[in-house]
Amino acid sequence: DEQYDPQTLQPKWQRRWEELDPYRAGGDGDDRPRKYLLDMFPYPSGDLHMGHAEVFAIADVVARYWFQKGYNVLHPIGWDSFGLPAENAAIRRNAHPAEWTYANIETQANSFKRYGISFDWSRRLHTSDPEYYRWNQWLFNRFFERGLAYRKGGLVNWCPVDQTVLANEQVVAGQCERCGATVIRRELTQWYFKITDYADRLLDDMAQLEGGWPERVLTMQRNWIGRSEGADVAFQIEGRAEPVTVYTTRPDTLYGATFFVVAADAPLAEEICAPEQLPALEAYRAEVAKLTDIERLATDKEKTGVFLGRHAINPVNGERVPVWAADYVLSDYGHGAIMAVPAHDQRDLDFALKFSLPVRVVVETGLPDPAESGTATPGEGRLVNSGPLDGLTKTGAIARIVEILGERGTGAAAVNYRLRDWLLSRQRYWGTPIPIIHCPDCGEVPVPDDQLPVTLPDLRGDALAPKGVSPLASATDWVNVACPKCDGPALRDTDTMDTFVDSSWYFLRYCSPQLDDAPFDVEQVRRWGPIDQYVGGVEHAVLHLLYSRFFTKVLHDMGMVDFPEPFLRLLNQGQVVNQGKAMSKSLGNGVDLGEQIDAFGVDAVRLTMVFAGPPEDDIDWADVSAAASQKFLARAFRVMAEAGAASAPGADFSSGDTELRKVTHRTIDEVTRLVEAHKFNVAVARTMELTTAARRAIDTGPGAADPAVREAAETLAVLLSLVAPYCAEEGWERLGHGPSVTRAGWPAAEPALLVQESVTCVVQVAGKVRDRLEVSPDISGAALEELALASEKVRTYLDGAPRKVIVRAPKLVNIVP
């Protein structure tokens, strides 16, 4: 029987893999070179979906390629299993979050097994297991000892729906990253990790990631950290003893400061405010409190503010300038106060024009007068109206003014960051309890390491309903404890940790997941780390990926890991959409992974995901065809089955048909390079071409028994094993091999067979030659189009999908953008 029948192959090979355990990473005695491949671990929300199917299929190509190449590969899987959805489900069903969580984990684990991902299952972990979260607590204690975990009061982001605080990183465009509610600010005392201590290193070490990480992720992290250089300048305020310091990136414009602004919501505003202006300030603050930061900073927002009845003294020219309170100055950036230079800062100019404040040009840029044009001139030029700075350039003036300020003791060069410390406490149940005991006499006392884990008390249903204080507070037996230091009555901290703590070090735990006396085995981490290839979504650009880098650096400083960066290479896969839109219930365009697998088989779904386009691009499921993938696999399977029936293993390939041998070896050579360059879709196209060539050799060439046909079929099985493991296994078995294609090894191209006449194909974009490709004379039109569109040179001239592609294989591709 030469039929490819995925539904019977799947259970058969799943059983075999269960027995063979082909992907278990080699132990200490295994001295093959090592590779560590990691997919961002899933959240157990229901079954696997199309997005999972894509990312895991793509990463599996890399993992299986390394296995075949003879590396000792670590490719683990686990679950990021704490978090709000489990808790919300538990409230709805009056159950415990663990029930929903672990049931979903089982479902996903079974789906992963059916989906044939090459995991080392022996390293499976769940972050909601006490055996795991115990080490979150242990790490928290280490951070606490080092002054890197601390509690402070202040304005924090609060989600009114989830009734918990959020980290800055979890507020996206003013909304809760989880539920979409508009985030408000509340004054609360919370726990923080001091990530700001690492701001410079997080920035500087990005040099090591250049080339390995997508540029846009590096840019997002750079902007998020937001380092800026400038100066602190102290202004005296009339009627007040201490000066007020402002941060400015343009100290050169100091002579152009015509007013002074304090953040309306900063305590400083009322400290400075003249008594007769206090009612106006209070009224204004009430208005400001209703706005989000996004609204406050929107450049097109009409400027608002109140005069505080005071004046500040410019430290260089003694000028008196009015002090205002306004919302466009933020209380938690710089010093919460600014010197306003309306001629050269647009927000200041808008404010000055609204309230008729003076505008003084101090940098001659050749542009129209800002007071007339309404447009500030932020650029470079020569200084004017600036006493000792006149005639200097911007850079020269900055150096000179910093010198002058230094001599007078009224200022100095300064660096500022946008990055804030990581707010890690949450007022929710399903997370890691913060291992701190509050004692009236001893203060904050960490739970001693030998008493960890502090496990969650058993709460369920209504007890978990959000009420603004942590549900743990209601577990009074759990909360009331003896102080570990003085034995007096004390209270446990009732907050839990942000679940991003769990994912900040899980990749280290995989190196020794069962260890029970440390979070990870330092030697094993040295052996496997850092991660050679990380694969996951770009939505984590400034969350998980920044936090993990921070954790790694702290652990590096503790001497526990010997590398400063956890992920050497990062691949962000695109999204799977349908009919051009993200899949959603409300649009009714969802595609169910299970149904796709039932209809076309695992291999066809995986192949479709990989073949759809470059891995970074979105896949529109309406534009691809799993049915066509299944047909191709049936064709490939028939080639392997027929070759297997016609000849036995061990044939002398060199006596086979030379033409087919050349195609086979060229394919090996190209697929190897394409997989290494992450051009997986083109690698699949090459594999398809090899299938066609083998089919032709069977039908109209030397026939199925020719050794070259066997060679092509065996090669096909190994190449296919990266994307279509069931088809590849069964084909390999039909070819007389065992026990599994996973042990076949990657074929080597024979150089003698690679010398092959090629033709040069010209690729035009909008009629202009943009690239030349060396291709085989018998390349298919589809493969050529694929190749042309994958060309870096061509892609820089394309902005999205081209309107039309005209292919004249093998010599010309004409793209209409």
Q: Which residues are annotated as a binding site for ATP?
A: 585
Q: Work out how close the CB of 338 gets to ligand ANZ at its nearest, in angstroms, rounded to a whole number.
A: 5
Site string for ligand ANZ, 253-292 (x = CB under 6 A): x---------x-----------------------------
Q: Which does 485 bind (CB under 5 to 8 A by kind): Zn ion, ligand ANZ, none?
A: Zn ion
Residue 486 binding: pick among ligand ANZ, Zn ion, none (C-beta 5-8 Å cut-off by kind): Zn ion
- Residue 239's alpha-carbon distances to 236, 243, 308, 309, 339, in angstroms, are 9, 10, 12, 11, 18
Contacts (Cβ under 8 Å, ≥6 apart) of 284: 264, 304, 305, 306, 325
Which of 330, 412, 515, 762 lies at the binding interface for ligand ANZ (CB under 6 A)?
A: 330
Contact between 329 and ligand ANZ per CB under 6 A: yes
In the bound state with Zn ion, the residue whose beta carbon lies nearer, of 316 and 439, is 439
Kindly determine how many residues on this chain lie close enough to bind ligand ANZ according to the rule CB under 6 A: 19
Smallest distance, Zn ion to C-beta of residue 481, A: 10
Q: Which does 247 bind (CB under 5 to 8 A by kind): ligand ANZ, Zn ion, none?
A: ligand ANZ
Binder of residue 184, out of ligand ANZ, Zn ion, none (CB less than 5 to 8 A by kind): none
DSSP 778-790: T--HHHHHHHHHH
- Which residue, 191, 161, 189, is CA-closest to 177? 161
Question: Would you count residue 341 as binding ligand ANZ (CB under 6 A)?
Answer: yes
Cα distance between residue 199 and residue 550, in whole Å = 9
Q: Which of 348, 338, 270 is nearest to 310 (CA)?
A: 270
Of these, 112, 150, 307, 333, which contacts ligand ANZ (CB under 6 A)? 333
Instruction: Choose from ligand ANZ, Zn ion, none: what does 654 bind? Cβ within 5-8 Å by kind.
Output: none
**Other Cβ atoms within 10 Å of 754 Cβ, number:** 13
- For residue 524, give both structure tokens: 């094993």
Which of Zn ion, ligand ANZ, none does residue 339 bind (CB under 5 to 8 Å by kind)? Answer: ligand ANZ
User: Of Zn ion, ligand ANZ, none, which one sits near residue 344, judging by CB under 5 to 8 A according to partner kind?
Assistant: ligand ANZ
* Cα gap 457→377, rounded to integer Å: 60
> How near is the Cβ of 261 to ligand ANZ at its closest, in Å?
8
Task: Fill in the per-residue mask, 407 to 446: x = in contact with ligand ANZ (CB under 6 A), - = not in contact.
Answer: ---------x------------------------------
For the bound state, the minimum distance from the C-beta of residue 488 to Zn ion, rounded and expressed in Å, comes to: 5
Of 200-208, 325-333, 709-717, 758-766, the window that binds ligand ANZ (rule: CB under 6 A) is: 325-333
Q: How far is the CB of 448 from Zn ion (least distance, A)?
A: 13
List phi, psi (to 5°) of 39. Answer: -100, 145
Neighbours of 153 (CB within 10 A): 9
Q: Report the partner that residue 441 touches, choosing among Zn ion, ligand ANZ, none (CB closer than 5 to 8 A by kind).
A: Zn ion
Q: Which is nearer to ligand ANZ, 379 or 391 (CB)?
A: 379
DSSP 682-738: HHHHHHHHHHHHHHHHHHHSS-TTSHHHHHHHHHHHHHHTTT-HHHHHHHHHHTT--
Residue with tokens 């040009």: 361
Nearer to Zn ion, 379 or 440 (CB): 440
Instruction: For the CB of residue 377, give the shortest distance to ligand ANZ in the complex, in Å.
Output: 9
Residues that bind Zn ion (CB under 5 A): 439, 441-442, 483, 485-486
Beta carbons of 656 and 702 less than 8 angstroms apart: yes
- Residue nearer to ligand ANZ on the CB measure, 248 or 470: 248
Smallest gap from Cβ 247 to ligand ANZ, in A, equals 5
φ, ψ for residue 192, nearest 5 deg: -135, 150
Q: Which is nearer to Zn ion, 279 or 440 (CB)?
A: 440
* Contact predicate 646/697, CB 8 Å: no
Query: Cβ of residue 449: shortest distance to Zn ion, in angstroms?
Result: 18
Residue 667's φ and ψ, nearest 5 degrees, are -65, -45
| Residue 345 interacting with ligand ANZ (CB under 6 A) | yes
CA separation for the pair 598, 552 (Å, rounded): 42
Least separation in angstroms between CB 538 and ligand ANZ = 24
Q: Position 273: which residue type? A: C
Nearer to Zn ion, 340 or 483 (CB): 483
The region of 336-344, 449-457, 502-510, 760-768 touching ligand ANZ under the rule CB under 6 A is 336-344
Write down the residue that tokens 């360059």 correspond to: 677
C-alpha 535 chain-centroid distance: 9
Number of other residues whose CB lies within 10 A of the CB of residue 670: 22
Closest CB to ligand ANZ among residues 339, 708: 339
163: contact with ligand ANZ by CB under 6 A: no
Looking at 97, 305, 315, 334, which residue binds ligand ANZ (CB under 6 A)? 334
Give the integer Cα–Cα distance in Å for 304 and 260: 14
> Nearer to ligand ANZ by C-beta: 83 or 334?
334
Nearest distance in Å: CB 343, ligand ANZ: 7
Q: Are 723 and 701 spatial neighbours (Cβ–Cβ below 8 Å)?
A: no
Stretch in the footprint of ligand ANZ (CB under 6 A) among 37-45, 331-339, 693-701, 710-718: 331-339
By CB under 6 A, tell whether 344 contacts ligand ANZ: yes
Distance (Å, rounded) from C-alpha 297 to C-alpha 303? Answer: 10
Give the three-state DSSP class for 445. Answer: strand
Binding piece for ligand ANZ, criterion CB under 6 A, among 8-16, 41-49, 341-349, 503-511 = 341-349
What is the smallest separation between the CB atom of 376 and ligand ANZ, expressed in angstroms?
A: 7
Q: What is the Cα 93 distance to its own chain's centre?
A: 32
Cα-based angle 490, 474, 81 (whole degrees, multiple of 5): 100
Query: Strand 812-816 and strand 804-808: pairing?
Result: antiparallel
- Closest Cα to residue 425, out of 343, 501, 357, 497? 497
Kindly tell me which of 486 and 677 has the beta carbon lying closer to Zn ion: 486
Which of ligand ANZ, Zn ion, none has residue 45 at its interface (CB below 5 to 8 Å by kind)?
none
483 binds, among Zn ion, ligand ANZ, none (CB under 5 to 8 A by kind): Zn ion
The owner of tokens 């009629």 is 767
Residue whose CB is less far from ligand ANZ, 250 or 686: 250
Which residue lies nearer to ligand ANZ by CB, 349 or 718?
Answer: 349
Residues 215-254 contacting ligand ANZ, CB under 6 A: 228, 247-250, 253
Q: Which entry of ligand ANZ, Zn ion, none binds 789, CB below 5 to 8 A by partner kind?
A: none
Q: Which is nearer to ligand ANZ, 341 or 724 (CB)?
A: 341
Residues making up the binding site: 585
Residue ranges in 637-666 that form contacts with ligand ANZ under rule CB under 6 A: none
Q: Where are the alpha helices (DSSP H) in 83-165?
A: 84-93, 97-115, 130-145
Q: Give whichever of 339 and 718 is closer to ligand ANZ, judged by the CB atom.
A: 339
Instruction: Using alpha carbons only, give the angle 615, 619, 625 rounded to the nearest 5 degrees.
Output: 110
Order of strands across the sheet with 34-39? 72-74, 34-39, 533-536, 570-572
383 within 8 A of 392, measured Cβ to Cβ: yes
Alpha-carbon dihedral 529, 533, 536, 539, rounded to 10 degrees: 80
List of residues contacting ligand ANZ (CB under 6 A): 228, 247-250, 253, 263, 329-330, 333-334, 336, 338-339, 341, 344-345, 378, 416
